[in-house]
Amino acid sequence: MKTLLQINASLFSSQGQSSLLANRFVAAWQADHTEGQVIVRDLASDPVPHLDGQRFSALISQADSRTPEQQAVVDFSDNLINELKSADILVLGLPLYNFGVPSVLKAYIDHIARAGSTFSYTATGPVGLLSGKKALIFATRGGKYAGTAMDTQTDYVRGFLAFIGITDVEFVYAEGLAMGEEGKQSALVQAHDKIAELNLALAA
C-alpha cells in the first residue's frame, strides 16, 4: 500500500492556488490508488512553531538529559519526520511569498532537518536518509520567475530535498496568476494538463 504525504504551505489553507493544484493531483491519485493512504498536513490550519533558541537546544539535546519540555519538542519533530518517512510520494503546495518560501514551510523544514533522523554526517559529507521517494511540487506565483534569478524557491527546495535523500523531484508551475485573468486561466490549464500527465505516468 502506497502512502502519499500532502503538505499545503499556503496562508489560505486548502483554498490557496497551490493547495488547489495539489488537491487536484491527490484526488486523481486516490482514484487510481484506492488502497493508498493520504496524509495531509496543512501548515496554515496546523502551523509548525518557528525555530527559536529553546526549540533548537531541545532538538540537539541528548536523550538522557532532556527536560519534559525538551522531550515534547523532540516528540513533535519526530512525528513530522515519521510522517515523511512513511510516505512514498511527497506532494507540496508551494506559493511564492516575497520571493521566498512561506515562513511556515521554513519552520517545517527546520523541524525535519535532524542529523541521525533525516540525514547523517559522514567522513565525506552529509548523506540523506530518505531515499526512494518521489516529490511533486506545485508552485504558484503571481508573476513569472521560473528559470530566472528571481526564482529562489526551486533550487532551495530541490537542494533541501536532495540533502535529506529525495532526488526524484518534479515541479509543476502556475505563474502569472496576478497578471490578468486570461493569463491566469491559461497558466492553470497548463498546470492541470501537467497534473493529468503525472497521474497517467504514476498509474502506469
Which element (helix H / strand E) includes 20?
A: helix 17-32
The CATH H-level superfamily of 3-203 is Flavodoxin domain (3.40.50.360)
Q: What does pTM read for this prediction?
A: 0.96
Under DSSP, is residue 146 helix (H, G, I), strand (E, B) or coil? coil
Contacts for 83 with CB less than 8 Å, ≥ 6 apart: 5, 39, 41
Q: Any idea where the domains of the chain sit in the sequence?
A: 3-203
User: Mean pLDDT per segment of 10 residues, for the chain of length 204 residues?
Assistant: 97 97 97 96 97 97 96 98 98 97 98 97 96 98 96 98 98 98 97 96 81
